[in-house]
Amino acid sequence: MSVRYNKQGFTFSSSMEVELLVLTDLTYDELENFVKSQGLERYRADQIADWIYDKYVFNFKDMTNLSKQTRNELAKIAKIIDLSPVERKVSKLDGTTKYLWILEDGNTVESVYIVHPNRNTACLSTQVGCPVGCPFCATGQSGFIRNLKTSEIVGQLLFMEKLHGEKVNNVVLMGMGEPAFNVDNVFKVLEILTHPKLRNIGARRITVSTAGVPEFIEALGKKFPQVRLSVSLHAPNDEKRDILVPLNRKYPIALVIQALKRYIEDTGRRVTLEYVLISDLNDSPDDARELYNLLKGLKIHVNLIPLNPAVEGYKRPSHERVTGFARYLEARGVEVTIRIEKGQDIDGACGQLRMRR
């Protein structure tokens, strides 16, 4: 028997082909409906959610406050998670851990567990590969295969927490892929992660990154106004951004800035702009001046990222060039951070994640 969920509820099939429902694909309301569809009391949804999201139990047989019969019946039609860790690399420099996950169809994705002095962060992927194709990014150059399912995104976080034996403080959807092109699953992930009876992470501890899709930016602001927004800009004008972020040919900078203005007006929140500095491409004093003129009056924090080695032909700027760029913006009142990258020695830093076949 297989079971599927749609907006009308759960449907059951006696097909010989077994397709199990994945419970980490379900929002809390969907989990409640599933439990009721099995003739179980509503509170069983809370028990199952506690096993999954608090105790990291991914097998029904270990859910000991459910009857043995219930556990056996659930195992016939459902499972908890649908990816597995196949490789783990730990940075000797800073303790950052990069994971390689294998999905049920044989595809793989990577995500990163980042350690800070007083917190830790999970950087999750949302797609197998990336369709944006930024030429300096390893993920963009590896091509695109498909969107990740809700459970495949949530599963990355749950497995990392289980393997590290502690809860993650912050989540960033900044791994492989463009979240805006997987919007339904990404929004469902946000609902699951923030729900008090599921993962229960504060919305302000979650950041979603996009290369600049105006409709997505506005939709995120309306549906999840407390979730943080990060936009990968990487260039101060369309001529350069057309090359560095090919998505710009469809959504030029003017449209992105308009969307950011509406987002800031709707939410009152500050936006982070990610700007990868590439030697002799977008790191000049003129680039800094253009960027400042573009951002004047906006509630923006600029995150400067000296290029991480990933693709041949693109070089990291000198320290002097990076600090000079930052000082120009700071002198004019723009909040700026020069990101200290973690996990470079295991190819776990920004732009270094890639597909493996």
DSSP β-bridge partners for residue 12: 3
Amino acid found at 135: P
List CB contacts of 291: < 8 A, sequence separation 6 or more: 233, 236, 275, 302, 329
User: Tens digit of pLDDT for each residue in 314-334?
Assistant: 999 999 999 999 999 999 999
Catalytic-labelled residue, pool 30, 32, 110, 341 = 110
30 noted as active-site residue: no
Q: Which helix (H) or strand (E) holds 30?
A: helix 28-37
- Burial of residue 292 (CB within 10 Å: 0-12, 13-18, 19+) is middle
> Does pTM top 0.85 for this prediction?
yes
HSE at residue 125, side-chain half, CA atoms within 13 A, is 34
110 noted as active-site residue: yes
User: Tens digit of pLDDT for each residue in 29-79?
Assistant: 999 999 999 999 999 999 999 999 999 999 999 999 999 999 999 999 999
User: Tens digit of pLDDT for each residue in 164-220?
Assistant: 999 999 999 999 999 999 999 999 999 999 999 999 999 999 999 999 999 999 999
Which single residue is written with the structure tokens 């990069």? 98
302, 337 in Cβ contact below 8 A? yes
Question: Would you state the pLDDT for residue 159?
Answer: 97
List CB contacts of 126: < 8 A, sequence separation 6 or more: 147, 148, 153, 173, 175, 176, 177, 178, 179, 182, 185, 186
Q: Grade residue 313 by pLDDT with cuts at 50, 70 and 90.
A: confident
* Ordered domains of the chain (ranges, CATH): 2-79 (1.10.150.530), 83-346 (3.20.20.70)
Instruction: Please give the structure tokens belonging to residue 308.
Output: 């991480």
Q: How far, in Å, are 34, 235, 273, 277, 286 from residue 290 at the CA level?
A: 54, 9, 14, 14, 6
Question: Would you state the pLDDT for residue 138?
Answer: 80
